[in-house]
Structure 1
Amino acid sequence: MGALLWLLIPVGAGLVAAAWSSWALRNRKAGDVAELAGYARFRDAMEKEHPASEPVRAGSDSA
């Protein structure tokens, strides 16, 4: 009887792993529209030319 109890541990772990993997590989209904739009805004911002500004010195007080 003790051997059967020890056998239940890996079987239970296998069932938990199967349930987790099916949950992790599920089809998500929400698309990547918001993420792609954010990435497009990021690309646009990086491609803009910004005016050169003076570098900030480590010891200067700007306030």
Structure 2
Amino acid sequence: MASLAWLLIPLFAAIGAAIWGSWAARDRTQGDISELAGYARFREAMANADQPRAAADAHSAHPAHSASDAV
């Protein structure tokens, strides 16, 4: 009976190694696609941050009164 127990140890180790090997070799490219898209958006935002903000400031500077208000 003791010899049977010693033979089961390598069997369980082989089964565990097979399960771990299949888990380690799984395809993980699905998550990479969304991460790469997020990185591209980050790079675009950082490139836009380096540009002058004259266009954005021109839209936010409104006169206090319009020409039709002056009587």
Q: Shorter-chain TM-score: what band?
A: 0.5 to 0.7
TM-superposed deviation, 1:25 = 0.9
Bigger CA radius of gyration: 2
**What is the RMSD of the two structures over their aligned residues, measured on CA atoms?**
2.7
More helix by share: 2
**Which amino acid counterpart does residue 4 of structure 1 have in structure 2?**
L
Percent identity (aligned) = 59
Structure 2 unpaired stretches of 5+:
53-71
Q: d(CA) in 1 for partners of 2:31 and 2:38?
A: 13
Structure 1: 5+ residue stretches without partners: 52-63
Corresponding residue SS for 2:15: helix
* Alpha-carbon distance, 1:31 to partner: 5.8
Count of residue pairs the alignment pairs up: 51
Q: Give 1:49's aligned residue.
A: 50
Q: CA deviation at 1:23?
A: 2.5
Partner of 1:10: 10
